[in-house]
Amino acid sequence: MPALSRADTSLLGRWWWTVDRWTLLAIATLIGFGYVMMLAASPAVAERIGQSRDLFILKQVVFLAAAGLLVVLVSLLSPRGVRRLALAGCLAALLLTAMTLVHGVEIKGARRWIALPGLSLQPSEFLKPCFAVVTAWLLAEARRVPRFPGTLLACGLYGVIAVLLKSQPDIGMLAVVTAVFFAQLFVGGLNLVLVGLALAAFASAGVGAYALFAHVRSRVLRFVHPDTGDSYQVDKALEAFGNGGLLGRGPGEGRVKDVLPDAHADFVFAVAGEEFGMLLCTLLLGLFAFIVIRGLLLLLEESDLFVVLASAGLVTSFGLQAFVNMGSSLHLIPTKGMTLPFVSYGGSSVLAVALGMGMLLALTRKRHHGEVP
């Protein structure tokens, strides 16, 4: 398929021969799958919420196309370019996230969105990949330049984001950001005692969230005692999986999308399970696993700390998000409003994930040693 010669030294030519084409293929497949799932789940949802189904679908088609383009464009950047983009993005997203507290649109009890003409934007989605890259840079710089207070700055940045996300509140996102930061510290060689302390802090934060936020508590209680509360969504999702069986009921034959309000977003995995069966779900799971594992394995050959930490953060963010979404649908963990990367409906989510994946591809491109800074 490549029409590009190895000798081609143009920007695109060099990109093609250095980018990790396996991950690229996996991402392209995911985007294609997202397209199919959107066609399957969205008409029913559009009909229910009273929107024009053509417009509803068209919007997501545009977003998916934009996401594909974004992945490629961002992956063209050099690691330095990625760093700059992330820094800019992080500042912008931070600002916008702060703005949600003042001008945010309240949806389902949380202020996470900023209304823009034609769409509502969730800036915290973009914060995730940018934060991962920025902290990686700060931590790596702290190692390289002993006097640079990188670790402190990274902790400060994390603290500010944590406060913002807690205020929205968006505990799911906070958990992801925390996990990303922790993963980076861990991979960056954090003292094991401190790792233990961090894990303890993580656990107590979980308990705190349970104690402080009613919606977190209700979701956990529903998870632990499915009989006592309203576990309608999870019940329906599990029914859908069971209904799909090994091979599924066939595209468009699903029922769960008619009865689940979030079928196109948080429970899209259940729609996939019902219509395409376990084999395709396993394939989907495999794609996510492949991207995550390949991303981490590529780091084994990498010697640049910034690249290692940034990639680890991005991969963790991506993998954790997928895990939380699928785990919620399968009643493995309490329901948490988190999208399935590339597959769930939603502009912010798809573009933010594309940004992160583009950065990952850019960072994992083959380079001559020492080319980085």
Partner 1 sequence: MKRETRRSGVFTRRAALMAAGQVAALGVLGAKLYQVQVVEGARYALLAKTNRVSARLIAPPRGRILDRFGTVLAGNKMNWRALLIAEQTDDIQITLNNFAQLVPLTDYERGRIDRELRRHRRFIPVTVREFLTWEDMARIEVNAPDLPGILVDVGQTRLYPEGEKLAHVVGYVAPPSEADMGDDPMLSLPGIRVGRAGIEKYHDLPLRGRAGAVQLEVNAVGRVIRELDRQEGTPGVEIGTTIDTELQQQVLARLGDESASAVVLDARNGEVLAMATNPSFDPTLFNSGVSQAQWVEWTNNRRAPLINKAAAGLYAPGSTFKMAVALAGLDARTLTTGDRITCPGYLDLGDTRFHCWSKYGHGTLDLHGGLKHSCDVFFYEVARRTGMDRIAVMANRLGLGTELEIELPSARKGLIPTREWRIAQGHPWNIGDTIVSGIGQGYIEVTPLQLATYCARVATGRVVQPHLTRTMAGVLQPGSRAEDWPALGVAERQLHAVRDGMYAVVNEAGGTAPHARLPLAGVALAGKTGSAQVRRVSRELREHGNFNSAKLPWEWRPHALFVAFAPYDAPRYAVSVVVEHGNAGADVAAPLARDIMVDTLTRDPVNRQNPPGQRVAQGNTPA
| Residue found under tokens 């705190």 | 208
Return the residue of 34, 123, 129, 188 that touches partner 1, per CB under 8 A.
188
Nearer to partner 1, 317 or 348 (CB): 317
| 244-273: contacts with partner 1 (CB under 8 A) | 244-246, 255, 273
Taking the complex as a whole, how short is the minimal distance between the CB of residue 269 and partner 1, in angstroms? 9
Length of the chain equals 373
Secondary structure element (H or E) that encloses residue 182, with its range: helix 171-187
Cα(336)–Cα(267) distance, integer angstroms = 10
Cα 362–36–355 angle (5° rounding)?
A: 20
Nearer to partner 1, 8 or 239 (CB): 239
Q: Are 78 and 304 within 8 A, CB to CB?
A: no
| 165-184: contacts with partner 1 (CB under 8 A) | 183
Q: Interface with partner 1 by CB under 8 A: which range of 53-61, 207-215, 220-228, 325-333?
A: 325-333
Cα(238)–Cα(244) distance, integer angstroms = 10
Q: Are 78 and 306 within 8 A, CB to CB?
A: no
Taking the complex as a whole, how short is the minimal distance between the CB of residue 262 and partner 1, in angstroms? 18
The structure tokens listed for 319 are: 């993998």
Cα(223)–Cα(231) distance, integer angstroms = 8
Nearer to partner 1, 98 or 278 (CB): 278
Instruction: Give the dihedral sign, CA 187/188/193/197.
Output: negative
Q: Does 367 bind partner 1 (CB under 8 A)?
A: no
Nearer to partner 1, 66 or 333 (CB): 333
Cα(51)–Cα(43) distance, integer angstroms = 9
Characterise 109 by phi-psi region: left (phi > 0), alpha (psi -120 to 50), beta (else).
left
Using alpha carbons, select from 42, 10, 96 the residue that is nearest to residue 275: 42
Q: Does 241 bind partner 1 (CB under 8 A)?
A: yes
Return the residue of 97, 100, 243, 348 that touches partner 1, per CB under 8 A.
243
Q: Are 129 and 74 within 8 A, CB to CB?
A: no
Q: Interface with partner 1 by CB under 8 A: which range of 32-40, 150-158, 201-209, 237-245?
A: 237-245
Q: Interface with partner 1 by CB under 8 A: which range of 14-22, 123-131, 186-194, 215-223?
A: 186-194
At 111, is the secondary structure helix, strand, or coil? strand
Cα(16)–Cα(38) distance, integer angstroms = 29
Q: Interface with partner 1 by CB under 8 A: which range of 116-124, 156-164, 185-193, 359-367?
A: 185-193
Considering CB under 8 A, how many residues would be counted as binding partner 1?
42
Q: Does 276 bind partner 1 (CB under 8 A)?
A: no
Taking the complex as a whole, how short is the minimal distance between the CB of residue 55 and partner 1, in angstroms? 30
| 280-319: contacts with partner 1 (CB under 8 A) | 281-282, 285, 288-289, 292-293, 296-297, 299-300, 303, 305, 308, 312, 315-316, 319
Binding site for partner 1 (CB under 8 A): 183, 186-189, 238-246, 255, 273, 277-278, 281-282, 285, 288-289, 292-293, 296-297, 299-300, 303, 305, 308, 312, 315-316, 319, 323, 326-327, 330-332
